[in-house]
Amino acid sequence: MTSTTRWTATALGSLAIAAAVGLAAVSVRDDGPPWLLFTAFAVATLVPAFAGLAMLTHAVPDERSEHDDETVEHAWFVRATSGAFTDLLLVLGVVVFVTSVLDGPELPVALVIVLAMVDVMVRYTLLSRREA
């Protein structure tokens, strides 16, 4: 796949995702004019959708080596993500227990996702520095 084809697919895909989110917002919400809801949600979704699709379409190399899974970076990533998943399960278990017992506020999902990403990043950095 050429670079132009990848960028075109990324742009068209992000436009489709933004339009779908805009239509979903219009169909669910009724707190404003439909055109304004569609525009606001589509514009707010366009850049993150483009960035996410760009990472997906441009991170995949044109040709894959048969030994890509044997690199040290892949081993670091596997160890970092498995450790972060264990941490995430532990934290979520404690948070669910505490919120159910104390009838406290719910934990936002975005906070959990950010916690998981930061955990993977820190673990990967530590592993790469320790074993490099």
In angstroms, the CA 82 to CA 119 distance is 10
Contact 2, 58 (CB under 8 A): no
Beta strands in the chain (DSSP E): none
- Put simply, whether the predicted model's pTM sits higher than 0.85 gets the answer no
Contact 95, 115 (CB under 8 A): no
What angle in degrees, to the nearest 10, is found between the helix axes of 3-28 and 34-59?
A: 150
Contact 50, 9 (CB under 8 A): no
- Structure tokens that stand for 45 in this block: 């979704």
From first to last of the 132 residues of the chain, give the pLDDT tens digit: 677 888 888 899 999 999 999 999 999 988 889 999 999 999 999 998 898 888 777 665 556 666 666 777 778 788 888 888 888 888 877 877 777 667 777 767 777 778 888 888 888 888 888 887
